[in-house]
A = this chain, B = another copy of it.
């Protein structure tokens, strides 16, 4: 709270104190509750996390043709993600260089020119300033080069996923991903066709902190048994809770974590390949991934992970109507846009492998919508505890009583999770999934980024 802030008059000390407590508490799995509500921390996050890290903007399948654009967010700010006239992808800051007026008038569309409504400066799809009314009279010799739309510092496309960063000093995306790449390849490169987005993203606002979403998708499997207990009551999910806890927790690289639900043995009856239909599963091959990756995928029931800070993916078997339709694999992408210390704008995309039939894609979409969306039986419940936790994050009592949140599951001696032997992929791996190292990994990197001086970066590998 800015309260904490004002309470001693040294507005910097609150965030510094909290970050010190974070660093000291992490080895013991203790995290100050105020990280989920303090305004000063949040304003730091916008600058030290969202203005520096690689963040997800869009998928290329959303802007197939030149001139296609979508308006997306980095932190709280709008960027125009547009397919330029040469077929390249641009991410342009949505602010006219004259008086700063936002010039993008739609959530998506197609255009060859962005014209500012105030005085009419016009920009092309690469952000170049083209001119304005009676240009010679008004701006004669002024440099157009220096007055084009501002752009992100770096941009990349990975399996069609467009990521960008505002920080020119950021490491390359590959380096930033580190070990996480192996796992994203496993999902997005599972067959030669790759994935595409179905429809436009759903957006909704939740009064919670973005880190609640990020840590949940980093591998919070334990909450299913309680929070999603109703899912079994309605047959929405095929694997019993205890069985579903079998699997791997993986700290792929600093900040990025994931989790697999996997049966102990290959020949377990449960779902294979996330319960994708047989004929789709048959298209999964090693054209773009290794045998190990394919084998892991074949045994997987659920994949859930988070690329720091706020890019989450989930691949799981779902159905909208258990009585009539068996679960199908559903791949969904989430971003948790930070709209305030206690405010998330959740973006929600559904994906399918390109080679799926229209019917199969429709099943994916319906099942996903009914399970993991604002109106879905799973997600409906997830937002509830996040709201209730962010309220605590704002509380003075938590500050005064020094409430530390508990991230101790899976610490040495706590529970049954153990380091996994001979796992073919990168990262620090535990079996089974009774552990929160995946969350501690996220917060360790978070802590390093929050303390990093401008221009400097924590190391991207263990």
List residues of chain A with CB under 8 Å of any chain B CB. Answer: 1-13, 15-16, 33, 36, 39-40, 42-44, 46-48, 50-51, 74-77, 79, 93, 95, 97-102, 115-120, 132-134, 136-142, 147, 150, 166, 212, 222-223, 225-227, 241-242, 245, 381, 384-385, 388-389, 391-393, 395-401, 403, 405-406, 408-409, 413-416, 432, 434
A-B contacts, 20 listed (Cβ < 8 Å): A4-B43, A6-B11, A11-B11, A51-B396, A51-B397, A76-B395, A98-B406, A100-B388, A100-B405, A115-B226, A117-B226, A117-B385, A119-B223, A119-B225, A120-B226, A134-B242, A134-B434, A137-B245, A138-B415, A138-B434
Q: Is the CB of A414 within 8 A of B74?
A: no
Pick from B93, B137, B142, B393: contact of A403, CB under 8 Å: B93
Given A7-B44, A137-B245, A414-B142 in contact, is the A398-B100 Cβ separation under 8 Å? Answer: yes
Q: Is the CB of B7 within 8 A of A10?
A: no
B contact residues around A409 at 8 Å (CB): 138-139
Q: How far is the CA of A33 from the CA of B44 in the complex (A)?
A: 20
Chain B nearest CB, measured from A444 CB (Å): 18
Chain B nearest CB, measured from A88 CB (Å): 20
Chain B nearest CB, measured from A201 CB (Å): 20
Q: Is the CB of B226 within 8 A of A133?
A: yes
Given A99-B405, A406-B147 in contact, is the A6-B391 Cβ separation under 8 Å? Answer: no
Q: Is the CB of A388 within 8 A of B102?
A: yes
The 8 A-B residue pairs whose C-beta atoms are closest, nearest first, are A9-B12, A3-B43, A120-B226, A118-B385, A100-B392, A77-B397, A102-B388, A6-B40
Q: How far is the CA of A223 from the CA of B101 in the complex (A)?
A: 12
B contact residues around A227 at 8 Å (CB): 117-119
Q: Is the CB of A385 within 8 A of B101?
A: yes
Pick from B13, B100, B400, B406: contact of A33, CB under 8 Å: B100
Q: Is the CB of B93 within 8 A of A401?
A: yes
Q: Is the CB of B6 within 8 A of A222?
A: no
Given A7-B47, A223-B119 in contact, is the A391-B102 Cβ separation under 8 Å? Answer: yes
Chain B nearest CB, measured from A173 CB (Å): 19
B contact residues around A388 at 8 Å (CB): 100-102, 117
Q: Is the CB of B392 within 8 A of A101?
A: yes
Q: How far is the CA of A5 from the CA of B337 in the complex (A)?
A: 21
Which single residue of chain B is at the shortest CB-CB distance from A432? B137
Known pairs A101-B388, A166-B401. 7 more at Cβ < 8 A?
Answer: A6-B15, A47-B396, A95-B392, A118-B385, A118-B389, A138-B434, A140-B416
Q: How far is the CA of A59 from the CA of B8 in the complex (A)?
A: 35
Q: Is the CB of A46 within 8 A of B385?
A: no
Pick from B43, B136, B242, B398: contact of A1, CB under 8 Å: B43
Q: Is the CB of B140 within 8 A of A400?
A: no
Q: How far is the CA of A97 from the CA of B393 in the complex (A)?
A: 12
B contact residues around A403 at 8 Å (CB): 93, 95, 97, 100, 150
Q: Is the CB of B47 within 8 A of A434?
A: no
B contact residues around A413 at 8 Å (CB): 140-141
Which single residue of chain B is at the shortest CB-CB distance from A40? B6
B contact residues around A9 at 8 Å (CB): 10-13, 15-16
Q: How far is the CA of A75 from the CA of B400 in the complex (A)?
A: 12
Q: How far is the CA of A33 from the CA of B141 in the complex (A)?
A: 23
Chain B nearest CB, measured from A131 CB (Å): 12
Chain B nearest CB, measured from A197 CB (Å): 24
Q: How far is the CA of A293 from the CA of B50 in the complex (A)?
A: 57
Listed residue (A225, A392, A397) with the most chain B CB atoms within 10 angstroms of its CB:
A397
Q: Is the CB of B93 within 8 A of A43?
A: no
B contact residues around A136 at 8 Å (CB): 415-416
B contact residues around A393 at 8 Å (CB): 100
